[in-house]
Structures are given as structure tokens and as C-alpha cells.
Structure 1
Amino acid sequence: MAVSNVVADEPEIDAAAVTSGSSFYLAMRILPAVQRDAMYQIYAFCRAVDDVADSDAPRADRSAALAQWSEDIDACYAGSPRPALTALTRHIRSFNLQREDFHAMIDGMAMDVAEDICAPDEAMLDLYCDRVASAAGRLSVRIFGMPEEPGRQLSHHLGRALQLTNILRDIDEDAAINRCYLPRELLAREGIAAADPKAIADDPSLPRVCATLAERALAHFAASDAIMNDSPRRTVRAPRIMSGVYRCLLERTLERGFDLPRTPIRKPRARLLWIVARHVLF
């Protein structure tokens, strides 16, 4: 994905349309209008930089595209956004969104662009989770209206819970594009060579690695629940739904198991609608 030229009449991003296919869409839909649009804009940004990282363009082109996004974010804070980011800039001001969180997200995508990640060590995995998931959480909790410290703690735990769930759910999809996010130390403990994502995905000892990572995800879900239980209900309705949706995905992943052959995990639509209804109506 090469860097595209920005034209003067570039339209604003249809952020609602971009968001409509997301697992987070139902959580965003219940927010008041201004918060809802702000979240749509944040998601559209996250989707755009993720698409850059996951494209099949040469690494140099993807790096250039991410560098352009960094410049675009800086332009938002300078008060001179490109037309497509006018709405995002408005929300940056309204909700005091922090520049470093946008840049952290871009830096996380740059980790995928720099090389095909295969079995990162624990520190690298945690940094990756912080950048690609918890950074988005830090932006989101400001929009939800959470106080600073509980918001940061929720972003830390829920972001990691969500990203570890993605990693466990997407082992085969990641291997197909020569990536593996399972930590090197856990693989070594089970005698799995950390050299080839496809070989890792096919190793018979993989379920024990995944069980440990699932325990971590569940611990982060529990920690985020405790924070939300101590927070005003109006500020945590959306993250409760996000947590419920992803906990459901993790449960489905664990029910399927990690032995071969593994079938793709489908979102249970009826269950997700019940999760939303429970937090909106009760």
C-alpha cells in the first residue's frame, strides 16, 4: 500500500461505515451521539493503520505509509488536518486525546512492518499488546469519560485481554501470513522451536502454550471487571460490552481447543445481542 497523494477535496472518512463490521460496533452504537462518532473516528484510524501493516505492499511502501500517518496525526494537533481527518481533529480537542497514544498505535503497526513477527519474547509481546490494543483503550476511556488512573488501568488490562484473545483465535490466520505472536519463552518451555510460524501452529504441544496464554487473558479480563465494578456505570457500559464480546470469543476458542484440525471461530450473533441488551437495559 503506497502512500497516496492527498487532494484538496478529499472527503471525510465515513467512519460509521468502516466500523460497522467490527466486533466493537455494538458497543459503540449504545453511546451518545458525540461519543459514538468519536469512537467511530478512532476505530477508522486504527483500521486504516492496521490495513497498512497487513497489506502485501513492499515493506518500504508500508513504512512510508505509516510515516505519513504520523505526520497526519501531528497535523491534527497543529490545527491543520487533511480534510479526511477534520472530524477526528475535532474529537481530539473535545476529549483531550493524547498524541502519544496515536503514535503508539502507529509504532505497533510498524513492528509488523519491520519484520514478520515470530515468537517474540515476553517483553516484546507485552509492548506489542500495549501499542496495538491498550493505546486504543487509552484513547477510548477519555471518550467514555473515565477518570485518568482507572481509565489507564482499564486500558492496560482490557487491551491485553482483547489482544491475547485475538492471538489465540488467529493462530492459523497469522501463520498463513508468516506471523506468530505466541511468546518465545512459553514455546521453549514446551520444546517448540521458535523458527517457523506454520511449524509452531502444527506442533502437538501447542495446546499447552495456548492454555497458559488463555489463563493470562482471563486474569486480565478479571482485573478489568474489578475496575469497571468500581467505576460509574455510565462510563463503562461500552467497555463492558467490548469485554463481554471478547470473553465470548475466548470461550468459543477454548471450547474448540487447539488440537488439529482447528476450525475458524464464528461470532455468535444471538449471544452478542444478549450481551448488549444486558448492559443497556439492566
Structure 2
Amino acid sequence: MTDTASVWGRDDVSSGKGASDENFPVGSILLSKALRPHVHAYYDYARVIDDIADCETLSADEKIARLDAMEEVLLGKREPITRADALSAAKLRASLLKTGVPFETATDLLVAFRDDSRGTPCTSWDDLVQYCRYSANPVGRFLLHLHGEVPETFAASDALCTSLQILNHLQDCQKDLQRLNRCYMPEDLMAQAGATQDDLLAGRASPNLRRVFNTLLDKVDALNREAATLPGLVRGRRFRMECAAIVGLAHRLTQRLRREDPLAGRVALKRTDIMYAAGAALRAWS
């Protein structure tokens, strides 16, 4: 086991991000009030491990040591130290034990964040999908398990979560490269379009880079079509409304990224998009 002092060393690894920075609601009012504390426990844990992987003052080895320690606390292999990150893992452990949600929904996230910490390159669309399998899809599966939904919902949920993750990568493509030296634009698609990572640092997308964005959005459209089946598969009425709203928001954000340039400014959801999603949720009530 790694020495405790070297693992937990520095206190501040926060990226400054919180629930208000998310495109999509965290533990929204559409979710059962009884389940919201479990959703927030999962979100707090996910935010901490994301912050560790994104921390600019930790080395790759330090990040991985911190992530490994989080996993040990989560799995009950070490006692938590009085720190926000260790305590978030201990809190989620208690939640998972109480609800019976599989621990893989939490440990799978660590696979992606270890890759981020190592700087693992994204060489192809398949690499990107594989990354999303661990960075995003566990979130949907956590919620499905928490609500007692059936395995038939998993594929549509995975499609939705992968779509949301790729949309987020497109929104933040410039910032990720500038701040973290990280690029999720598949290298083979960039090469085919004649684009380079330097294009991501410009004030506007070049025609070559726009082709990469459009190719990714074409693939996201296919994911969104599969994701659109999710509300019809979900049995719980409130959760079905939540899923319908998020599917609607993914669709609207995809449209915005078609029309707007993420290099010229952050492409974000607007009030009209929220209203559209609210209408989708209401239609899913019946």
C-alpha cells in the first residue's frame, strides 16, 4: 500500500467546477427526493476524481496514486482520512452498500481518469467510444440501477451518455488542449480532414477542423437516435421524464454545435433549449 502522506499530500486539487457548470441537471427535481442524496453522493465522488485527473499541480504518478487510494477507500480496503476526497469515496461506499447499486458504476470511472492522468492519446473513433464507456456510461448505469430499471435500458443509456460526453469534448476542445494538453479529437479523423491540434488553438474553426466537428456530430446524431428510445424503455414515470428531458437537451446541443463555433466561445444551452426539454419531459409523463 502506498504511504499515506505521499498519497494525500496536497489538499487543493479542485478544478473550480461544480454542478452549475454542467450542461445537464444533477439530481434534478424530477428525480425521487429519496434518491437524490445517493445521486449527489455519486456526483461528489465523480467530481473529486475528475478534479484529481485534471489537477495541473500534480504529476501523473501522483494523480494515479490519489485515484488508487480513492478506489481503496471505496472498496473498504483502507480507512478514509479526514479529507474531502477520501470522505466522498467513503460516503459513496455507504450509498452503494445501502442501495445495492454495483460498485463497477464507480470503479469504472477510475479507468477513464487514470487514462486522462497518463495522457493516453485518442487515436480513433473507437478509442473515443472506449473512453466514453468508462468516463460517461457508468453514470447512466448508476442511475438505472438506482431506479431499479431493467438491463434492456442499458444500450440506449450508453448511447445517451456517450453522446453527452462527446458533446462536452466538442464544447471544451480548445480549453482541454490549452489547459491540460489533452485532445479528444480522434487523430485519424484529424489527419483525414487535414487538421492539426494547432487548429484548435485558433480563434475560429478552420474549414478542415469544421469537417472533423461535423463528422463527430454525424456520429453523435446516430447515438442520439438510439438514445431517443430510452424514455420508452424506462418504467418509472419521474425518471422517464428526466431521461426524456436529457435526450431533448442532447439533441438541442448537437444542433447548436452544428451552427456555432466552439473556438469562438463556449457553445451553451439557452432558455429555449430548456423549454424544449421541459416539453419533452411533459410528453413522457403519460
1:176 corresponds to which residue? 178
Q: CA RMSD in A?
A: 2.9
103-112 or 58-67: bigger deviation:
58-67
- Pick one of 247, 250, 256 that aligns with 1:246: 250
Q: Percent identity?
A: 21
> What corresponds to 1:265 in structure 2?
267
What is the CA-CA distance between 1:173 and the residue it aligns to? Answer: 1.3
Closer/same/farther in 2, CA of residues 131 and 85 from structure 1, 3 Å limit: closer
Using a 3 Å threshold, how does the CA distance of structure 1 residues 218 and 144 change in structure 2: closer, same or farther?
Answer: farther
Which of these residues, 194, 208, 211, is aligned with residue 208 of structure 1? 211
Separation in 2, partners of 1:146, 1:79 = 32
Contact 2:45-2:89 at 8 Å conserved across structures: no
Comparing both structures, which one devotes a greater share of its residues to helix?
Answer: 1
After TM superposition, list the pairs within 5 Å mapping 1:1-282 onto structure 2.
3-4=7-8, 19-25=19-25, 28-57=28-57, 58-75=59-76, 83-85=87-89, 87-115=91-119, 117-150=120-153, 152-177=154-179, 178-193=181-196, 197-200=197-200, 202=202, 203-232=206-235, 234=237, 235-257=239-261, 262-273=264-275, 275-276=277-278, 278-280=280-282, 282=285
Mapped to 2, the partners of 1:159 and 1:49 lie a distance apart of 18
Q: Which structure 1 segments of 5+ residues have no match?
A: 6-16
The AA in structure 2 aligned to 1:109 is F
Relative to the length of structure 1, the TM-score reads 0.81
Q: Deviations over 1:12-63 (max 9, x none)?
A: xxxxx95455333366222111222211111111111111111112222211
Q: Deviations over 1:78-113 (max 9, x none)?
A: 797665445423331243222223121011011111
CA distance in 1, matches of 2:69, 2:26: 31
For residues 80 and 34 of structure 1, the distance between their equivalents in structure 2, rounded to whole angstroms, comes to 27
Cα 1:147–1:104, aligned 2, differ >3 Å: closer, same or farther? same
CA distance in 1 between counterparts of 2:275 and 2:200 reads 35
Provide the TM-score with structure 2 as the length reference. Answer: 0.80
- The residue number in structure 2 matching 1:9 is none
Structure 2: distance between partners of 1:172 and 1:93: 40
Cα shift at 1:154: 2.5
Displacement of 1:128 after TM fit?
0.7
Alpha-carbon distance in 2 for matches of 1:179, 1:38: 31
The total of aligned residue pairs comes to 262
One-letter code of the match for 1:40? H
Aligned partners of 2:230 and 2:243 also within 8 Å: no
Contact 1:27 1:276 (C-alpha < 8 Å) held by counterparts: no
Q: Deviations over 1:213-260 (max 9, x none)?
A: 1011111111011232243252422222222223322222211146xx
Task: Give CA deviations for 1:109-154 in whole Å, capped at 9, x if unaligned.
Answer: 1111102x5542233212111110012221121123310232x212
